[in-house]
Structure 1
Amino acid sequence: ANVVKPCLYQKYKNYGASWNSPSPSRFMNHRVPAHKRYQPTEYEHAANCATHAFWIIPSILGSSNLYFLSDDDWETISAWIYGLGLCGLFVVSTVFHTISWKKSHLRMVEHCLHMFDRMVIYFFIAASYAPWLNLRELGPWASHMRWLVWIMASVGTIYVFFFHERYKLVELLCYVVMGFFPALVILSMPNTEGIWELMTGGVFYCLGMVFFKSDGRIPFAHAIWHLFVAFGAGTHYYAIWRYLYLPSTLQTKVSK
């Protein structure tokens, strides 16, 4: 008994010291092997939730704004598609990270939500291109690309279903191809208004991918990736709002 008491005392003493000291391990766990999933710290979990939950309300309001600015059926349909993709991205991400943080014992639920979180990225990319492909004059390839982006999103979804977290570099490559391939048509627009905003948003996404693959190397890497996604989505939303939906009279005033 005399031996056990000092050991217990030392254990709790060390625990209290580690809680009061700002140890880096509280902000970032060790990097995991390629075939394993990174487990965020408590602080990283909270940051992962907050950095996308914050954008749910703005995305709903922004999508509603596009809907009310729509003048015809194509604009209405495009607003719905884009709005669902934008809101779905932030909602699904927030739900998954919340469950992963607070209900991690629900293994099957967490696994399904993680898959859904990765799947929705493909549909968000397709939805982000939808207004440009539907509302801009792009030439003969535009009509094919309208459907091709959704075929690519479906293929990506099937890939996640069968190979989730198995080949992480392949998964990242799929996102890159999905993100840039439709741009071959978009960048050929005779009307170049919005090009710079589209390119800027693409740069945000590309920079964010560096952090997307940096869990265990950079503290709060995934939360930083979330912020880059929000900046990229915000930049693209601005371009869609200003150049595709803003009434021509107001657009003239803005351009001046």
Structure 2
Amino acid sequence: MDFKKTKFGRFMNCRVPASKRYQPTEYEHAANCATHGLWILPSLVGGSVLYFLSVDQWHRTAAWLYGSGLTGLFVTSTLFHTAAWKISHLRKVEQRFHMCDRMAIYFFIAASYSPWLMLRELGPWACHMRWLIWVMAFVGSMYVFFFHERYKLVELLGYVAMGAVPALVILSMVERSGVCELALGGVFYAVGVAFFKSDGLVPFAHAIWHLFVAAGAGVHYYAIWRYLYLPGPLLQTSR
């Protein structure tokens, strides 16, 4: 369906070649900023809640890493989209914000896995994945720094690999509670990628992608809070 020929056409730009930058409409710019900006305060509160529920240093460290990654994702995304909207004429400044936005995704993925890798009893690879996942985030960030926007498919595959490889370790959890939520959150991210690649084809495609990211992050936050931080018999701290 060609949305440009419908009443929604005024809300979106045409599809552009891969060699050119996609330039959202004013409506899309505003939606891109709002759909992640609205989650900055809740992410700060959510990270703080986990920190104050912590019972030992491992829990506090995991809460700090996860809260920082979650908040950092929404902050950098909002800053980039605001820069792309209001100061796009400052190309180098906007590009730096874009690079930070892309780097934050790697660290967000690492931070999302950290509570599970640190607070659950896992298989023999767990102790290695606890630090390896941060090495992967660093390598991904260096790739963005040196090859930003040059090979978009490679960058996308990097995010997919970063999200999939640690999941293989997580599935070795002795205690299985939380696996369904982790899978559901992954589904939200995966479906959202379809919209991420639909800029210029679907109105507000990027903003919809943002909503799927927020939904996936919300499900994963619930699982971490419910199964790793709530006091009582559900709390699993074996390492």
Counterpart of 2:41? 57
Correspondence 1:151 to 2:135 = yes
Distance (whole Å) between structure 2 residues aligned to residue 214 and residue 150 of structure 1 = 30
Q: 2:207 aligns with which of 211, 215, 223?
A: 223
Spell out, residue by residue over 1:93-144, the C-alpha distance to the aligned partner (whole angstroms, 9 max, x if none). 0111111111212211101000110110000000000000000000210010
Of stretches 33-42 and 205-214 in structure 1, the one that deviates more from structure 2 is: 33-42
- 1:198-213 to structure 2, matched below 5 A, reads 198-213=182-197
Q: Aligned pairs, how many?
A: 230
The answer to whether the Cα contact below 8 Å between 1:138 and 1:186 also exists between their aligned partners in 2 is yes
- Report the TM-score when normalising by structure 2: 0.93
Paired with 1:172 and 1:28, the residues of 2 have a C-alpha distance of 23
Identity of aligned residues (%): 72
Q: Is the contact between residue 11 and residue 203 of structure 2 (CA under 8 Å) also seen in structure 1?
A: yes
184-193 or 103-112, which moves further after superposition? 103-112
- Residues 76 and 101 in structure 2, CA contact (< 8 A), matched pair in contact too: yes
Distance across 2 between alignment mates of 1:168 and 1:213: 11
CA distance in 1, matches of 2:211, 2:107: 19
Partner SS state of residue 125, structure 2: helix
SS in 2 for 1:39: coil
Residue 56 of structure 2 is aligned to residue 86 of structure 1 = no
Partners of 1:63 and 1:83 within 8 A in 2: yes
Task: State the AA in 2 paired with 1:164.
Answer: H
2:98 and 2:202 map into 1 onto residues whose CA distance is 21
Q: Which amino acid aligns with 2:49?
A: N
Q: Report the residue type matching 2:43 in the other structure.
A: S
Deviation per residue, 1:157-196 (Å, 9 max, x gap): 1111111111111111111000011000001111000000
- Give the aligned residue type for 2:170: I
Assess if the C-alpha contact under 8 Å between 1:35 and 1:165 holds in 2: no
2:57 alignment partner in structure 1: 73
Pick the aligned partner of 2:19 from 14, 35, 60: 35
Query: Which sections of structure 2, spanning at least 5 residues, go unmatched?
Result: 1-5
User: Could you tell me which residue of structure 1 aligns to residue 165 of structure 2?
Assistant: 181
2:221 aligned residue = 237
Q: Which amino acid aligns with 2:40?
A: I
Cα deviation, 1:67-108, whole Å, max 9, x if unaligned, reads 000000000000000000000000110111111111212211
Query: 2: distance between equivalents of 1:162 and 1:32?
Result: 24
Structure 1 alignment gaps of length 5 or more: 1-21
Are the equivalent residues in 2 in contact too, given 1:28–1:219 (CA < 8 A)?
yes
- 1:116 is aligned to 100
State the alpha-carbon separation in 1 of the partners of residues 144 and 164 from structure 2.
19
**Deviation (angstroms), 1:35:** 2.2
Native 8 Å contact 2:9 2:203 kept in 1: no
Q: CA deviation at 1:23?
A: 5.5
Which has the higher Rg, Structure 1 or Structure 2?
Answer: 1
Distance 2:8 2:50 in 1: 44
Cα distance in 1 between the residues matched to 2:51 and 2:211: 25
CA shift digits 1:11-35 (9 cap, x unpaired): xxxxxxxxxxx95443111111112
CA contact (8 A) 2:50 2:225 kept: yes
> Counterparts of 1:173 and 1:140 in 2: how far apart (Å)?
26
**Mapping of residues 131-170 of structure 1, within 5 Å:** 131-170=115-154
- Distance in 2 (CA, whole Å) between partners of 1:152 and 1:210 is 24
